[in-house]
Amino acid sequence: MKSKYLDYQDEILELFDNGANYNEISAYLIETHKLDVSVDYLRKQIKSIVHFLIADADIVKYNIKLAKQKQKFQDLNRIERKAFREDSRQENALIEYNTEIIKLLNRHSLNTKINKKKHKTEAAIVVQLADLHLNELVEIESNKYDFNVAAKRLQKYAYKVKEYVKFHKANKVLVAITGDLINSDRRLDEKLSMATNRAKATFLGVHLLKYFILDINEVAEVQVCCVTGNESRITEYLGWVDMVASDNYDFSIFEMLRLLLPDINFLRGDALELVVEINGKNMLVIHGHQLGKMDANQVGRVVSKYSAKGTIIDFIICGHLHETMIRDNIARSASLVGSNAYSENALNLSGTAAQNIYCFTDDGRHDIRIDLQETDGWDGYDIKEELFAYNAKSAQKTHKKETIFKIII
């Protein structure tokens, strides 16, 4: 539209929006700007200008609407492409992981013949394996951790377990894996603290836990159960159904141990929660990330869920928070790794390596915290020489402070 009166469009629209009619707007402009034109002529011009500007605004609004819709579809398309790329990366990583595992299993034989033990008493011991975080390297003043330290702590733990088995004359031992056997690699600091890739870490995890199980099996009949943790998940997102929750390195280690140790009874169940009857008591095995801070209300909701299904839960064991807590109806184990830089510096938390065992005897349940922080005098389970390239023996080189700061003025 061409009109010399478009120069006054801001004033025209302001007056129009404030309720002035065309005659009033025309009179105002003639008087204010000393226009040499009749009110009737200017009124027609102003009417055309207003209609043009309003129509133009509607077009702008419509274009904005179209632009928003276009952006929405572009965003959805980008999200779908990103999800496809992430799924493809995960699938490729799993293919590489499985290929590496098969190579390692073909190269190193882990099969072992087992001598079964028979005992006459009815005492049973639950040995918890919580938050081992294998593959994590810790190099801080208060704690050191790698595969070799893990091998020593597991050997020390098995020795303590065997002492309690002999003392109580237990005939059964349940090794209850409560998740997070392998360390997460989602945060940058976790990626920088990896001893090796996850395939080799999984193989070493199977290697060490095989030793641990067979060590205890020398004095009692061992059974093994497992639930998965949140840190060892393969996918980025937490899964709450069994098919997704079992897509986890904890489950992979459990299944490989089950195949390698056919004479050991492995209790297979739901990947997230498992109820095991121990000497007439129902024990719920769970990782713990489902319970938050584990206050009475959260624990009560879990117990009520099972009560509604007709199952009375007498006792719950879990891990997750890396801190020992023992109550009448629930016990939480600390971790095998102990403190790391993240827990001390980011969370202001410190702790020691420890695990829990639970003795079920005729006179009740006895809960024991086993301190595993110090390993002086322990050789650790043997890691084959050909596996040294996969473990953390050279970790000190990675963490050695050799940087020289030079300031030139």
Residue 315: pLDDT band with limits 50, 70, 90: very high
CA atoms of 174 and 113, how far apart (whole Å): 19
CA atoms of 243 and 227, how far apart (whole Å): 13
The structure tokens listed for 369 are: 């915290």
Residue 275: how many other CB atoms lie within 10 Å:
19
Tell me 194's DSSP state.
Answer: B
CA atoms of 298 and 316, how far apart (whole Å): 12
Helix boundaries (H) for 118-180: 147-168
Give 210-243 pLDDT, tens digit per residue. Answer: 999 999 999 999 999 999 988 777 766 666 555 5
CA atoms of 6 and 124, how far apart (whole Å): 94
CA atoms of 241 and 249, how far apart (whole Å): 16
Per-residue pLDDT at 62: 62
Q: Mean pLDDT, to the nearest integer, of 81-89?
A: 69
Residue 110: pLDDT band with limits 50, 70, 90: low
Where in 93-220 does DSSP place strands (E)?
124-129, 138-140, 143-145, 172-177
Q: Is 213 helix (H, G, I), strand (E, B) or coil?
A: helix
Residue 346: pLDDT band with limits 50, 70, 90: low
CA dist list (Å): 113 to 116, 214, 261, 264, 380: 10, 10, 8, 10, 21
Give 39-61 pLDDT, tens digit per residue. Answer: 888 888 888 877 777 765 565 56
Contact criterion met (CB below 8 Å) for 123 and 359: yes
Give 258-272 pLDDT, tens digit per residue. Answer: 999 999 999 988 888
Residue 362: pLDDT band with limits 50, 70, 90: confident
Q: Mean pLDDT, to the nearest integer, of 114-133?
A: 76
